[in-house]
């Protein structure tokens, strides 16, 4: 069997997605997600111009060799664009391997380690009262874990608090929207939110909160301490994470667990965080951290250091990435939680998939391969629309961190 064609499909069924479809000379094909929010066309060009021509004629069964070839062979290692492109190829090759073997991908990864993949949903609202209603909605649907975000009094808009309750899309305009941020207002408000949430929902519902990299380590330490009475499952992205040793400072001050990694593209971005046990959950994803092959490597390292997986799963990760994530989540020993946000109907129609939500769990498809596809004709009806993530400024106008 040989790789006959590598197609790169860009489509915008309510938001942009880039998908790789690897077709073999025997007609079997595989799909991989290559979406990098706000930078989609950079990855598409990387794949079309530089990767596709090097893959034709190769044996699609040699997943590890192709991974190493693309990673080491390019000379320029790592980085989100490169690693997303490699991820898409890797994911598509696992899909092909599953189809050839006649097995769902989780069987190739060692088989099932649990009954289902526990997911968390997103409760967002402007006010505390409104967010309580959102949380109830998730509890009624059977969710066992909920991420809670609210508007911050004194700030006009807050990242991650969408206007649409069901669907969430922070990338809105071609030229980024700008938000204003105040750490003082934020640190004052968040403990009040979780005090109310615990009062309403009791001690056992798993609660999470995303800080979106907005704090310094000492501010994050204060936040963690102030949230200790409400025993969150994690605070996410408390600080920008280029400086891995910065997490030591947070760790020294609080027992609130820490999750990080949605923007990481390789094991090198988190090796110190993991080996020094500075975090509790690693949130790297199939699509942005080098595919199933590399993410498995990260999770295996994490397993040695009591760090569990908590993969990012926002709607800019396509159903192809979600399908791949679920196979890995089901198989690894150190699974923690999987983020899950429902895609829109248009997205679901372009990416028919067999995974399903039931009783707080997602279950991967039992079909051979990943159990997800792309309807290319339908995809062609949704042309690309430029959209960027917002930029964040302090009240005095300074550009603030993500
Ligand atoms: O900012 O997916 O945990 N979820 C998040 C998301 C991310 C977007 C970036 O593309 O932080 O809102
Ligand atoms: Co996040």
Task: Express each pLDDT in 379-401 by its tens digit.
Answer: 999 999 999 999 999 999 999 98
Residue 170 has pLDDT above 90, yes or no: no
CA 169 vs CA 11, 165, 219, 357: distances in Å? 16, 11, 28, 21
The whole-number pLDDT of residue 15 equals: 97
- Backbone phi, then psi, for 74, in 5-degree steps? -75, -15
The whole-number pLDDT of residue 402 equals: 73
The whole-number pLDDT of residue 156 equals: 86
Could you give the residue ranges of the DSSP H alpha helices within 27-150?
40-45, 52-55, 63-73, 80-101, 105-108, 128-141
The whole-number pLDDT of residue 278 equals: 98
The whole-number pLDDT of residue 159 equals: 81
The whole-number pLDDT of residue 166 equals: 60
Number of other CB atoms surrounding residue 67 within 10 Å: 21
Alpha-carbon distance 31 to 345, whole Å? 20
189 classed as catalytic: no
Task: Give the residue, by CA position, lying nearest to ligand 1 atom 11.
Answer: 212
Q: What does pLDDT average to over the chain?
A: 96
Residue 307 has pLDDT above 90, yes or no: yes
The whole-number pLDDT of residue 401 equals: 82
| C-alpha 158 – ligand 2 centre gap (Å) | 13
CA-based nearest residue to 328, from 113, 121, 119: 113
pLDDT digits (tens, 9 = 90+) for 212-229: 999 999 999 999 999 999
Residue 163 has pLDDT above 70, yes or no: no
Annotated catalytic residue, options 212, 294, 312, 327: 212
154-163, 270-279, 336-345, 366-375: the lowest-pLDDT one:
154-163
The whole-number pLDDT of residue 119 equals: 98
Mean pLDDT of 153-172: 77
pLDDT band at 172 (very low <50, low <70, confident <90, very high): confident
pLDDT digits (tens, 9 = 90+) for 17-47: 999 999 999 999 999 999 999 999 999 999 9
pLDDT band at 351 (very low <50, low <70, confident <90, very high): very high
Decide: helix, strand or coil at residue 218. Answer: helix
**Bridge partners, 388 (sequence order):** 173
Task: Give the residue, by CA position, lying nearest to ligand 1 atom 6.
Answer: 314
Could you give the residue ranges of the DSSP H alpha helices within 202-332?
217-227, 246-253, 271-275, 291-304, 319-331
Mean pLDDT of 63-69: 98
pLDDT band at 371 (very low <50, low <70, confident <90, very high): very high
Alpha-carbon distance 261 to 264, whole Å? 5
Could you give the residue ranges of the DSSP H alpha helices within 256-290?
271-275
Decide: helix, strand or coil at residue 324. Answer: helix
Alpha-carbon distance 209 to 232, whole Å? 8
Report pTM.
0.97
| Residues in the ligand 1 pocket, defined by CB under 6 Å | 37, 160, 170, 210, 212, 262, 312, 314, 316, 389
Task: Give the residue, by CA position, lying nearest to ligand 1 atom 12.
Answer: 160
21-25, 178-182, 307-311: the lowest-pLDDT one:
178-182
| C-alpha 210 – ligand 2 centre gap (Å) | 6
pLDDT digits (tens, 9 = 90+) for 295-304: 999 999 999 9
Non-local (6+) Cβ contacts of 207 within 8 A are: 145, 146, 147, 148, 194, 197, 198, 230, 232, 233
Residues 170, 390: contact at Cβ < 8 Å? Answer: yes
138 classed as catalytic: no
The whole-number pLDDT of residue 168 equals: 73
Mean pLDDT of 97-112: 98
């Amino acid at each position: 069997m040989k790789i006959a064609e590598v197609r790169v499909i860009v489509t915008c069924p309510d938001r942009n997605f880039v998908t790789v479809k690897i077709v073999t000379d025997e007609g079997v094909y595989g799909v991989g997600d290559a979406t990098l929010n706000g930078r989609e066309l950079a990855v598409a060009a990387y794949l079309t111009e530089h990767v596709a021509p090097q893959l034709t004629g190769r044996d699609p069964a040699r997943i590890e060799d192709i991974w190493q070839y693309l990673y080491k062979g390019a000379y320029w290692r790592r980085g989100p664009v490169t690693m997303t492109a490699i991820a898409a190829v890797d994911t598509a090759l696992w899909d092909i391997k599953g189809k050839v073997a006649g097995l769902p991908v989780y069987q190739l990864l060692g088989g099932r380690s649990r009954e289902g993949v526990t997911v968390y949903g997103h409760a967002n609202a402007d006010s505390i009262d409104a967010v309580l209603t959102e949380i109830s909605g998730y509890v009624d649907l059977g969710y066992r874990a909920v991420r809670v975000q609210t508007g911050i009094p004194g700030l006009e808009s807050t990242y991650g608090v969408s206007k649409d309750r069901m669907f969430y899309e922070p990338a809105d305009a071609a030229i980024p929207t700008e938000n204003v941020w105040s750490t003082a207002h934020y640190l004052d408000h968040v403990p009040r939110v979780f005090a109310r949430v615990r009062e309403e929902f009791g001690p056992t519902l798993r609660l999470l909160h995303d800080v979106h990299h907005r704090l310094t380590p000492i501010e994050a330490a204060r936040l963690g301490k102030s949230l200790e009475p409400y025993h969150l499952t994690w605070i996410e992205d408390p600080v920008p994470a280029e400086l891995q040793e910065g997490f030591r400072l947070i760790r020294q001050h609080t027992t609130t667990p820490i999750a990080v990694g949605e923007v990481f593209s390789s094991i090198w971005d988190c090796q110190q965080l993991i080996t020094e046990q500075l975090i509790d959950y690693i949130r790297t994803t199939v699509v942005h951290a080098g595919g199933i092959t590399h993410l498995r490597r990260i999770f295996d390292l994490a397993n040695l250091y009591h760090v569990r997986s908590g993969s990012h799963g926002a709607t800019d990760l396509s159903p192809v990435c979600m399908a791949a994530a679920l196979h890995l989540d089901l198989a690894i020993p150190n699974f923690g939680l999987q983020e899950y946000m429902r895609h829109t109907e248009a997205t679901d129609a372009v990416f028919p998939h067999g995974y399903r939500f039931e009783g707080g769990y997602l279950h991967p498809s039992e079909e051979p391969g990943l159990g997800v596809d792309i309807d290319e004709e339908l995809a062609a009806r949704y042309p690309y629309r430029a959209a960027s993530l917002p930029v964040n400024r302090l009240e005095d106008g300074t550009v603030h961190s993500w």
